[in-house]
Each structure stands twice: as structure tokens, then as C-alpha cells.
Homo-oligomer: A and B are copies of this chain.
Amino acid sequence: MYETLNQANAAVIAEIKRARPRLLDVKPAKECIPALNEGYALLHAGPPIAWPDMTGPMQGAVLGACMFEGWAADAAAAESLAASGKVRFLPCHDHSAVGPMGGITSAHMPVLVVRNAEQGNYAYCNLNEGIGKVMRFGAFEGEVQTRLAWMRDVLGPTLSAALARIPDGIDLTALMAQAITMGDEFHQRNIAASALLLKALAADIAGSDAGVEAQQEVLRFLGRTDQFFLNIAMAYGKCVMDTAAKVGDGSIVTAMTRNGRDFGIRVSGLGARWFTAPVNMPVGLFFTGYSQDDANPDIGDSAITECLGIGGAAMIAAPGVTRFVGAGGFSEALEISEEMREIYLDANPMFLIPTWDYQGACLGLDVRRVVETGITPVINTGIAHRKAGIGQVGAGTVRPPLGCFEQALEALAAARGLQA
């Protein structure tokens, strides 16, 4: 243990700055995550949760995954299985993984393989399905199943073949450093990073032996999936934050995630322990035909981006997204990032933001500062319909409950032999 929390936090921040995650491959999840090979097992977003406590979108995604894996022939059979107690539901975060919204990840779904070239750890995330009726937002039938099968049979293998042709994979820090100058904050806006990724992969997709039909399908899918990079940014954040957690000391938040019921955080000095409190309801703009009444409570591992200091904290980098999430214009974006500066300890020297006069993105979310100021991180988020089977209905912002941070601070004080 370091003598002071400040010293510990300096060590954590040094590890974060040293991390260099690279996208190496795309593989079936079972080849990366051993727990998925044993019986019926599914990864989910957020801190631990049991089937009956899951909200609609996560339950819908569970049904989708049971059908996709061939464990159930239809939704009714899938629901019986899910409710039977035979399926183990495991937090992504406990398996070097993250997943957006429901976060449901099963054995045969392809995952991004991201490796930290400096510290050597791996992180995984499933692939972005695009928008609308998609599994991560709780839809599970018809086109959802067709797309999941295509991702398994075509998208995953084609990306793997292309990445195999690129020695040491793709330097994600360099790519994101470019994209943050192009209006991405990597949570609700990834259009630049997705285009830069396509640019980096296109020649090797065309040169792979995937066949011209698969090549074209994959290039078209990447071309229209502007949030494709979100899942990569999430794996990036997880890869970096798991490295930070290894320091084993300090008050830096190393995970922020939501399962639709609870918001959970982990802290660098407190290992894998979750500090949870009930999630809030995201507020934002809704697609035509939907309203705030349709919104599911806050859900998904994607807040790993805000944990790293991008996403909502980098709103000023992405004034194009502020309107999309209903957060106003340029001056409001500036206000949000300036407010976030109060609760993060440092600036990221890799992610310089031209619209912030080249200041670095926020870095090192400090539990102490959150509790002292009462300022909680702004999270840019997609909004799922609260019922299973529908999908995304909007996008907005949400904040974590302060309670998580207060509990963590008390535990930190206790761990260091201090009174809270």
C-alpha cells in the first residue's frame, strides 16, 4: 500500500497512461472466455444480477442468446430455460469483458480481442450490431437472429482474416487520438473512429481469402454502422482499467456499469468489490413514436468509456453529439466537460481535444472528488425500450447514483484504517 492515496493514484494514472491497447483479432467468445465453455453460461452487463431482477432489454437479450446458441427453439422455451436456474449469469467485468446495454455474450458470438501491448492484459467485447432492432437493446427474434448468425459466420471470420494480415494489429490509441479531433467522444458518437477503422482494414479485407461476397457485405456493414467502434472503445477502456486495477491501491474508479437495476463501481484500492445503488433513468431524445415513458432504467457496461474519461466527460470533443443526446449546443458541451474536470484528477496526454484548446480528455475519476463535490459523472447513453423484444428508442444522458461513491469512500477509509 502506498503511503498516501495521492501517491497511489499517481501510480494508477501512470499505468493508465502507459497502456497501449491494440485490436488483434476477432474470435468466438468461447475461445477467449473459458467460463463460456461450461454448460449454459451467459455474460451480462453490470454488477451481478439474477434472472428475475433483470429488466426487459436484458431479459430479451438472454432469450435471443439462448435461441442463438440453439439451447431453445423459441422464445417460450428460452424463457423457461432462463428461469429454470440452469443458466449461469456472469458479469462481463469478471471475465475481462464488457458488453453494451444488456451486454449478453454467449459462446459462439464473435468478440473483439484487444491486447495491451505494454502490460500484456487482454480485454474482449462483442461486436456492434448497428442500430434499431438489435439484441443488445432487448430485441431477440427474426432479423436479430439472422444478423447474429451472419456476424458469427461472415463478419467475425472476415475481420479475423483481415486482422491476421496486419502485424501487431491496430494501434487503438493512435486511432482514437485522431478520432477525438474529429468529433467523437466514443460513447454516443463513433462515426470518425468507425470510418478510420474501415480505412485501416479495407485493403486487408479486400486482400483476404474471405471471398468477394463476404468482403462486400462486411465493407457495407462497416460503412453503415457508425457506432461500430463503440464496442472497440469499450474493450479499450476495459483493457486500460484492468491495468489500473492491478495497482491495488488508490481511489480511482476502475469500473462503472449498470445492469438495469443497480449501478456498480469498482475502485483501484478495493479490488473486485462492487459498490452499488439503484440506477437512475436516462433523459434525452426519443425516436419517433417513443417517449420517456418507454425508457428502460440505465443499463450497460458502456460507461467504461466515462470511467476512462471519454464519453460524457469528453462532450466538448463532440459538439455534434450534444444535440443527439438532448444536451444543448457547444456552450453546454463546454460546461459539461469543465464540470467533469472537477472530479477527474488528470488529463489524458494521448487524447488532445482541439475544441478544448488542445487540453487532454479527463483521466482518473476520483471517488473522493465525486463525494466532496457531489458532482457525479455525466454518461452519454443509448436508451432501450423497457420491454423485451423492441430495441433502442432513444439516446440521452444519465448520472450514477452518488451512493456508490459514498460507500466506496467509506470502504476505502476502512481499508486504510481511517474513520469514514
**Which A residues fall within an 8 A CB radius of B?**
178, 181-183, 191-192, 195-196, 198-200, 202-207, 212, 215-217, 219-220, 222-223, 319-320, 322-323, 329-331, 354-358
Contacts and interface: CB of A to CB of B under 8 A. Distances in A.
A199 B331 CA distance: 31
A30 to B, nearest CB: 30
A223 B206 CA distance: 13
Chain copies in complex: 2
Contact of A182 (B192, B220, B331): B192
Given A181-B320, A183-B182, A354-B183, A223 B199 contact: yes
Nearest to A332: B357
Contacts of A330: 354-358
Contact of A206 (B181, B212, B358): B212
Report which residue of A205, A206, A358 has the largest number of chain B beta carbons within 10 angstroms of its beta carbon: A206
A322 B215 CA distance: 38
A199 B195 contact: yes
Nearest to A210: B206
20 contacts: A178-B191, A181-B183, A182-B183, A182-B192, A183-B183, A183-B192, A183-B354, A195-B195, A199-B199, A199-B223, A202-B202, A202-B205, A202-B219, A203-B215, A203-B216, A203-B219, A207-B215, A319-B355, A322-B354, A330-B357
> 3 closest pairs, A vs B, by CB?
A319-B354, A203-B219, A195-B195
A322 to B, nearest CB: 8
A219 B208 CA distance: 13
Given A183-B354, A355-B355, 15 more contacts: A181-B183, A195-B196, A195-B199, A199-B223, A200-B223, A202-B219, A203-B215, A203-B220, A207-B212, A207-B215, A320-B354, A322-B354, A330-B355, A330-B357, A331-B357
Report which residue of A195, A196, A355 has the largest number of chain B beta carbons within 10 angstroms of its beta carbon: A195
A182 B190 CA distance: 11
Nearest to A183: B182
A358 B181 CA distance: 17
A72 B200 CA distance: 39
Contacts of A202: 198, 202, 205-206, 219, 222-223
Report which residue of A215, A219, A222, A331 has the largest number of chain B beta carbons within 10 angstroms of its beta carbon: A219
Report which residue of A322, A323, A358 has the largest number of chain B beta carbons within 10 angstroms of its beta carbon: A358
Contacts of A358: 323, 329-330
A248 to B, nearest CB: 38
A327 to B, nearest CB: 12
A228 to B, nearest CB: 11
A277 to B, nearest CB: 34
Nearest to A193: B195
Contacts of A206: 202, 205-206, 212, 215-216, 219
